[in-house]
Amino acid sequence: MSEIYYPHKELFENPAFKNMCEYEDLVKEFEKDYEGTWAKLANEKISWFAPFKKVLDESNAPFYKWFTEGKLNVAYQCIDRHLKDKKNKAAIIWEGDNGEKRIITYLELHREVNRFANLLKSLGVKKGDRVVIYMPMIPEAAFAMLACARIGAIHSVVFGGFSAEALKDRILDAEAKIVITADGAFRKGKPYMLKPVVDKALEGVDCVEKVVVVERNNEEIEWVEGRDVSYNDLIVNQDNECPFEIMDSEDPLFLLYTSGSTGKPKGVEHHQAGYILWAQLTMEWVFDIKNNDTFWCTADIGWITGHTYIVYGPLAAGATTLMFEGVLTYPDAGRAWKMIEEYKVNQFYTAPTAIRLLHKIGADEPKKYDLTSLRILGTVGEPIDPAAWKWYYDVVGNGRCSIVDTWWQTETGGHMISPLPAATPIKPGSATFPLPGIFAEIIDENGNKMPPNEKGLLCITKPWPSMIRTIWGDPERFVSSYFGTAKKDGKPVYFSGDGAIYDEDGYIWITGRVDDVINVSGHRLGTAEIEAAIQKHPHVAEVAVVGKPDEITGESIFAYIVLKSNENLGEDVELMKEINEIIAKEIGNIAKVKDFAFVPGLPKTRSGKIMRRILRAIAKGEEIKQDTSTLEDPSVVEKIIEIVKSCQI
C-alpha cells in the first residue's frame, strides 16, 4: 500500500478544481455531452475571428478534425489579446548561462515577434512553408516559433543536441525552406556552436533557401554567400507591425520529430485550435497558473515539453514564463534553487532524471534557499521512483507543495494523466487519473478494461483536441503506429506505446514502453535508429540494443554487437569508442551506448525475430525465466550471459 498525500489547500486560492467532486462533475459532463463540453471550453478560452461550425469531425477517422472552419491565430492568442491588460507584464524572463538576465514584456514580445515575422516574410516565407528552428535556449527561439505561427508557417524545432545527420534528415523530410539557427550559445561557462552543424547538415540539400543566424556567442563562423543572413543585421530594419494570418483550426501549426519503434523519426503534426486550447487549459488545471505567478519549465524547446510548457501554454494563459539557457548543475548544485528564490518561482516543472541528479549531487542544497514561493512541483518524461519523489516533496517542496506527475507524449500535445494540484490525493509514483475530457484507459487489445494489478495497454479511447493529426508525409504510418494495436467497441483507438496498471483504487501506474523505444533522461530513442547507426561501422555484422535501468538517467543504452570476425569477443573499448562516435554523428550524444558486449550471436526465434526481452533480462543481470528452446540457437543465450558477466568484473 502506498502512502497518500493530500493537497495543502491553503496554498491554492480559487483553483480550477477545489476537490475531487468538482473533478468528477466535469468528467461526468464530458461523458454526458462530449462535444458540447469541448465547445463550451473552446468558446470560452479562444479568441475566435470566426466561430467553428463543427466541434469534432469523425468522418475520416482516425484523421479527426476539431473545431472545423473556426478562424484564429495562435500568436494572437498568445500575445495580442493580452496587450489590453498586460502590455507591461513580463511574458518571458530569461536567464543566461552566466547569470545574464533579460525581461521581455508582452508589448516587447509583440514587437519582437512581429519584426521576426516581417523578416521571415522578406525572405519569402509564406503560409504553409516549413521553417526548421535549430536554436539554443534564448528568447529568439521563442520569437521564431511565434513568428512562424503569426504568418502561418509551420515550424519544426530540432533539439540543439542532435547531430548534423539527424538535422539533415529532419530538414529533408519536412522540405524546409528556411533554417533559423544561432552561431552558438553558452553552456557551463563555455561557448558551444550550432552554426557549423547546420553548415554540415545542408551539404547537398537543395530545399533550404536561406539560413537566418542569430548572433549570440559571437564566435567565429562561416557565412555562405547568398544563403546565410544575420538576424542581428536584418531585424533592426523590420517594421514593428505585422498583420497576422487568419488561420483555420485545422491548418498545421508545427511538426516535431520523435522516435518510434521502427524506421526513421516521425514528424508529429499538430494543428492550431485544438493544440492551443489544451496547452492553455492544462496550464490552468494542472499548474493552477495565476496572474502573478512565475512559471518555470526546465525542458529544452526542442522537445514537446518546451513547446507546450515554455512557449505556447504559459503565453496563451498570459503568464510569465522563465526560460533558462544553462544547466541546472552549473556553476554548482544550487543553481536551480537559487533561481527559484531569486525569481520567486511558483511552479517548477522538470524531469525525474534532473531530480535524481540534483538529489545526488546536493541533497541538502535546497535548504540553503528560500523556496517558499513554490506551490506546485511537476515531473514529466518517465516514472518517478519513490526516493526521488520523497526528496522532491520533503526537501524541495518542504512537505507542502503538490507534486503533479504528468503523463503525456509528443503526440498528445499536452498533459493527459495528472493530479489536479488542489484536489487530487497523490500516491507517489502514480500519475493518478486522466484529466477531464481525456478518456485514457488501460485495456487489452479488444477494449476490455484491465482489472486492478494487471498490466494492459494505455490507450486514449476518444479523440481529443490536441492529439497528433498525422505523421508528416506518412499518413499510413500514422494509422498503423497509433491505431493498429487496440480496438474498443470495434473501433480502432489511440495506443500510446506505454503499458500501465490500475491499482485497487483506480490510480494509474505507468510501467513504461511496451515497444522498442528506450527512454534515456526522458528522451525517446528508437532502438532501430541506434542500431542503424551502429551498423554503419565496417566491423559490425549485427546489433541489438535494449534499455537498462540506470540510477540517474532512468534507462541507459546497452548494445549487443556481433562482429564480422569473431576474434574480438568480450570488451573492446577502442572499437566501442569508434562506434559511439558514429552514433554521435548520426544521431547525437544522447544516443551513445553506455554498456556493451561483443557477442557471437543474438537470440533469435526461428523466424529471425530478435528476442529483446531476453537481452533486457541479461542487461539487468536477471535470471532468464523464458523458455529458450524455441530459439534458433538456444546455446547463444548462455554464451551471452558468460560474456556480459565477464565484462562486468
Give the binding site for ligand WT7 (CB under 6 A): 258, 304-305, 380-383, 405-410, 431, 496-498, 510, 512-513, 519, 522, 524
Write down the least CB distance from residue 239 to ligand WT7, Å.
37
Q: Which is nearer to ligand WT7, 73 or 412 (CB)?
A: 412
Write down the least CB distance from residue 5 to ligand WT7, Å.
16
Up-side HSE of residue 112: CA atoms within 13 Å toward CB?
A: 20
Q: Which is nearer to ligand WT7, 380 or 561 (CB)?
A: 380
Q: Which residues contact 31 (CB under 8 A, 6 or more apart)?
A: none
Q: Which residues contact 339 (CB under 8 A, 6 or more apart)?
A: 95, 296, 322, 324, 345
Write down the least CB distance from residue 338 to ligand WT7, Å.
25
Q: Which is nearer to ligand WT7, 142 or 351 (CB)?
A: 351
Write down the least CB distance from residue 124 to ligand WT7, Å.
32
Three cell numbers written together for 410: 509528443
Q: Which is nearer to ligand WT7, 118 or 496 (CB)?
A: 496
Q: Which is nearer to ligand WT7, 90 or 508 (CB)?
A: 508
Phi, then psi, of 582 in degrees rounded to 5: -65, -40
Strand partners, 598: 561, 570
Up-side HSE of residue 586: CA atoms within 13 Å toward CB?
A: 21
Give Cα 193 to chain centroid, integer Å: 23
Q: Which is nearer to ligand WT7, 104 or 525 (CB)?
A: 525
Q: Which is nearer to ligand WT7, 513 or 592 (CB)?
A: 513
Q: Which is nearer to ligand WT7, 114 or 353 (CB)?
A: 353
| CA neighbor of 437 nearest in space, from 7, 32, 12, 51 | 32
**Rounded CA gap, 539 and 577, in Å?**
13
* Rg, C-alpha atoms of the chain: 24
Write down the least CB distance from residue 347 to ligand WT7, Å.
16
Write down the least CB distance from residue 162 to ligand WT7, Å.
13
Q: Which is nearer to ligand WT7, 485 or 519 (CB)?
A: 519
Torsion, CA 441, CA 442, CA 444, CA 448, rounded to 10? -60
Phi, then psi, of 277 in degrees rounded to 5: -60, -50
Q: Helix axis angle, 573-586 relative to 527-534, nearest 10°? A: 120
**Rounded CA gap, 264 and 526, in Å?**
9
Q: Which is nearer to ligand WT7, 244 or 309 (CB)?
A: 309
Residue nearest to ligand WT7 (CB): 410
**Rounded CA gap, 527 and 601, in Å?**
18
Write down the least CB distance from residue 498 to ligand WT7, Å.
5
Q: In the 8-state DSSP scheme, what is residue 451?
A: P
> Cβ-count burial of 534 within 10 angstroms (0-12 exposed, 13-18 middle, 19+ buried)?
buried
Write down the least CB distance from residue 159 to ligand WT7, Å.
10
Write down the least CB distance from residue 349 to ligand WT7, Å.
10
Q: What share of the chain is helix, strand, coil (3-state, %, to 5)?
A: 35, 25, 40
Q: Which is nearer to ligand WT7, 244 or 312 (CB)?
A: 312
**Rounded CA gap, 588 and 165, in Å?**
9
The answer to whether residues 255 and 472 touch, using CB atoms and an 8 Å cutoff, is yes
Q: Which is nearer to ligand WT7, 285 or 408 (CB)?
A: 408
Write down the least CB distance from residue 543 to ligand WT7, Å.
23
Q: Which residues contact 422 (CB under 8 A, 6 or more apart)?
A: 7, 9, 11, 12, 15, 17, 18, 19, 288, 402
Write down the least CB distance from residue 509 to ligand WT7, Å.
9
Write down the least CB distance from residue 493 to ligand WT7, Å.
16
